Structure 1
Amino acid sequence: MRVAAIQMVSGTSLDANLSEALRLLRQAAQSGVELAVLPEYFCFMGHKDEDKLVLAETPGLGTVQDFLSDAARDLKMWIVGGTLPMATDDPTHAANASLSYTPKGHCASRYDKIHLFRYDNGRERYDEAAVLKAGDTPTVFELTDHAGVHWRVGQSVCYDLRFAELYRALAADLILVPAAFTYTTGQAHWEVLLRARAIENQAYVLASAQGGTHENGRRTWGHSMVIDPWGEVMALQSGGPGVVIADIDMERLRSVREQLPSLQHRRL
């Protein structure tokens, strides 16, 4: 199955971000991609964290959800919408939700980011819990590719990457990691964590990132990539917008799991 990680440098204009996302998704579709994953906050990165609350949508109703549904249907491929803000019962907090859409435009799953990022090194400070409500449910969806192969696809978002127990619970063949890693933490940890998650779960990893300097002054690490179950990087783009494409193979995954059956050797 051909998959794509979409890398963006999203700004403060919803319309401009959606236009750029559609351009990149069309590029993926023209290359025969069956599943494309947009990055975290693909639709909007405001000047301050509270700005995203204004755009929070309700399930089944909203500009971004309509965009994702229409794009999936028109391009006839699976699309995972990175993340978008979804309304909660607390107007001061939104959920950071990742929605998957089938090639018919139907929403197949919703995952709300469980682990909320906090970081303060004296120069950079982030605290997602100030405006986001954490999710609590590990989420997978089933996908059958054009060849009739069934894939168990596990969803995660950005900071989740540091919590290995989530990925054990997903028990996925393909792990998705839409992200907006900071330049500082990404340079130090992004690739090593992605490769670790692939190796320990003997699964493909599809990581779509924000990658560049944004209108709000934030700098993200980028380095969107596809990693195979042996931990090898199959395709990568360091910075700037683009489409990272690779062909993933269920037989390759099964071979890795048969030759080194570490998943069967677990004791805890």
Structure 2
Amino acid sequence: MEKEQLKLALIQATLQWENPKANLLSFEEMLQQVSQEADLIILPEMFSTGFTMTPQNLSSAEGKYALTWMQKQAAQYNAMILGSLVWPLGEGQFANRLFAVTPSGEFQYYDKRHCFTLAGEDEVYQAGNQHLILEWRGFKICPLICYDLRFPVWSRNTFDYDLLVYVANWPAPRINAWDALLKARAIENMAYCAGVNRVGEDENNHQYPGHSSLFNPLGKSLVYQEEKSGVLEAVIHKKEVVENRSKLRFLEDRDRFEIH
């Protein structure tokens, strides 16, 4: 079913530390605020646990439990759901894995390419090396995770995507970079760009101020919210992407490269 517009629901939430069941229950309550017409629901990074560097504290079954929960919610709301989880790879190894789940229960995944060295994420989680380009109801979507936002080459629109998505646990001291880079990624890639961050304080006393937002292909802010939990909804239009790229052919002049 292809559509000319896609309705997004960005869910900005407080997360309870390493407590998947409590977090999933909280998201169930927040999902009740989502419009029935939503096509794409976006949750934060590590939405069931918070940004933990001690994944061994979690039951090995928690990742699969959260994925099953995503399948149930996607079916209930007839929408694709995006969000990343702590995912066990076996033999004590883990990935920060984003799942894209459809109402039919099918899913695809993306493993975070750039692990956050400042927090030691690179020592705990295995980095991915493949993009995921989703095709959903007539739109092409590129989902990425948090620290990936700082790397424009990895985010570059060589896939003709319409929407770039970042799910995150981005802390307050560097929130100005989050705001600036989301806008820049929209402009340079001539695509809508959505960023979904968490709010509140984690076990390590890091503060998260939200600033979840959506920018259009020219960098105009469409939705934005600070500090508090909530659901932000907006509609993106295929026509706006096509017309801007036809009129302003900046992507045709982009540098060509390969990532190794």
TM-score by length of 2: 0.90
Q: Is the 8 A contact 1:177 1:206 kept in 2?
A: yes
SS in 2 for 1:246: strand
Once the two structures are TM-superposed, the CA of residue 165 in structure 1 deviates from its matched residue by 1.2
- The answer for unaligned runs of 5 or more in structure 1 is 120-125, 145-149
1:96 aligns with 2:100: no
SS at match of 2:207: coil
1:99 CA drift (Å):
0.3
Task: Pick the aligned partner of 2:186 from 173, 198, 213.
Answer: 198
- Taking the aligned partners of 1:233 and 1:90, their CA distance within structure 2 comes to 44
Matches within 5 A, 1:162-177: 162-168=150-156, 169-177=158-166
Give the superposition deviation at 1:231.
0.6
Report the CA distance between 1:29 and its aligned residue. Answer: 3.5
| 1:43 equivalenced with 2:48 (yes/no) | yes
Moved more, 163-172 or 61-70: 163-172
Task: State the 1:105 CA deviation.
Answer: 2.4
2:23 maps to a residue whose letter is N
Identity of aligned residues (%): 29
- The residue aligned with 2:9 is 4
Q: Which one of 75, 78, 88 corresponds to residue 76 of structure 1? A: 78
Any stretches of 5+ residues in structure 2 without a counterpart? 1-5
Whether 1:23 aligns to 2:22 is: no
Superposition deviation, residue 90 in structure 1: 3.8
Aligned match of 1:184: 173
CA RMSD of aligned residues (A): 1.8
Indicate yes or no: 2:139 matched with 1:151.
yes
CA shift at 1:216, angstroms?
4.6
Contact kept in structure 1, 2:55 and 2:86, CA below 8 Å: no
* CA deviation after TM superposition for structure 1 residue 50, in Å: 0.9
Q: Distance in 2 between matches of 1:215 and 1:11?
A: 9
Cα separation, 2, equivalents of 1:164 and 1:233 = 20
Do 1:17 and 1:44's aligned partners in 2 also have CA atoms closer than 8 Å?
A: yes
Q: How many residues align?
A: 249
Per the TM alignment, residue 57 of structure 1 is displaced from its structure 2 partner at its CA by: 5.2
**Secondary structure of the equivalent of 2:127?**
coil
